[in-house]
A = this chain, B = another copy of it.
Amino acid sequence: MTQTPCPVCQAPSNGFHFGVEVCSACSAFFRRTVFKNRKFRCWGDPVNSCKVVSTGSAFCKSCRFAKCLAVGMQKEIVQKGREGYGKREKEAQELALVSASSPTNFKMNRQGLPILETIVESYKTLENARKCVHQGPHGGVFPKRPPKPVNYKETIAVFLKEYYLVGDWLSHCFPEFANMKIDQKDLLHRNFYLQFVVLEGGFFSCNHKRSDIRYLPSGDYIDCVNPETYYYDPDGQQPMTPDEAVTMFASSFQTYRRNVTHPMLRENADRFEFLALTGLALFDADLEYISEETAAVCRKVRMRIQKEMLKYYMSTKGAEEASLRLGNLISIIPSLHRATRRFLEDIELSHVLKAYSVDEKFYDNCLPKFGQL
């Protein structure tokens, strides 16, 4: 940084640029202008005689460039473009077109992603099975009805039905899971299930672009903004009033939304990413009580899933963007754990208090044992 002023704009100059000792700003301006071959028009009056001084902000571009040439800056020294060290603009633009043109149809990107392709396909089967099992608003047997808000009893009933459905789905997707010993399978399945419930809720919100209600797999929803509807018990046999329950569990809904729904909305996770996260949540290599053998399998599958995610991204993004996206997605997992744990605490609290008693079957069969999560 020398003391001589930039001959173009009078700002402190900063070494030689394109043949003349000018400031870095004028250097960048000159480079961009020449590189993009931009032309300007002077709007001044009288024309082509604007003052070019760095005091303000708005120069007349035309006169600034003219002055650059006048003081001797050489167009020839501007290079024709180099390789960037991350992505290349050209590439990024082309690929942006591709991904924008087909938001839902990602068939083209799925090739060579054996694990994730399998999950995506069989998730469709799960969706169909749900229509039959839940008789919800999208059920095929009964005539269609609009989605309705549900209370906690109905919710638990839905999730209980789901548990085994999801188990079958997992066994179908992952031979690694299907072939595990029954006790290991049970550990993973229990650890997984609530996470899946929470994650899928976030994904539904993401699909519907709203975080004020939480959709269930049945198609109905929990109204998070009016939780008294959720805690309302038609039989009226609970030791707590809905109002009390709302006070007690109010922050739980906050937790779900903050930790999972919002991040997923922010990242705008697609179905593919949601299912990849599902796989990572299932194959939790660091779970307590699992055998070293199971842990090794988990690590292997996780690695494969990460590789496929990366491949999926690399087909539409540059390397850097892909990696960062992968990182952001993986960063959702701790939040997912947090939300799930909160969910579990709520359920256990209800259970202990015998307030809003949870179906015993659900409690015994579908939840991780204490301290395991």
Residues of A within 8 A of B (CB): 41, 43, 55-61, 79-83, 88, 91, 251, 254-255, 258-259, 263, 280, 286, 288, 302-303, 306-307, 310, 314, 319-320, 322-324, 326-328, 330-331, 333-335, 337-338, 342, 345, 371, 373
Contacts and interface: CB of A to CB of B under 8 A. Distances in A.
Residues of A contacting B: mostly: helix
Contacts of A288: 251, 254-255, 258
A83 to B, nearest CB: 6
Given A80-B57, A307-B324, A331 B302 contact: yes
A372 B255 CA distance: 10
20 contacts: A43-B88, A55-B80, A58-B79, A58-B80, A58-B83, A59-B82, A251-B288, A258-B286, A258-B288, A263-B286, A286-B334, A286-B338, A306-B324, A306-B327, A314-B319, A319-B319, A319-B322, A326-B326, A326-B327, A337-B337
From A80, A251, A254, A319, residue with most partner B Cβ within 10 Å: A319
A310 B306 contact: no
Given A323-B310, A327-B330, A338-B286, A83 B59 contact: yes
A16 to B, nearest CB: 17
Nearest to A338: B286
A194 B373 CA distance: 18
Nearest to A41: B319
Contacts of A280: 331
A302 B91 CA distance: 27
Contacts of A258: 286, 288
Contact of A43 (B83, B307, B326, B327): B83
5 A-B pairs closest in CB distance: A57-B79, A319-B319, A323-B323, A286-B335, A306-B327
Contact of A330 (B55, B310, B331): B331
Contact of A259 (B43, B286, B307, B320): B286
Contacts of A306: 323-324, 327-328
A115 B263 CA distance: 24
A327 to B, nearest CB: 5
Nearest to A259: B286
A298 to B, nearest CB: 11
A371 to B, nearest CB: 8
Contacts of A335: 286
Contact of A333 (B56, B61, B324, B331): B331
Nearest to A323: B323
A303 B324 contact: yes
Contacts of A91: 43
Contact of A81 (B57, B82, B310, B337): B57
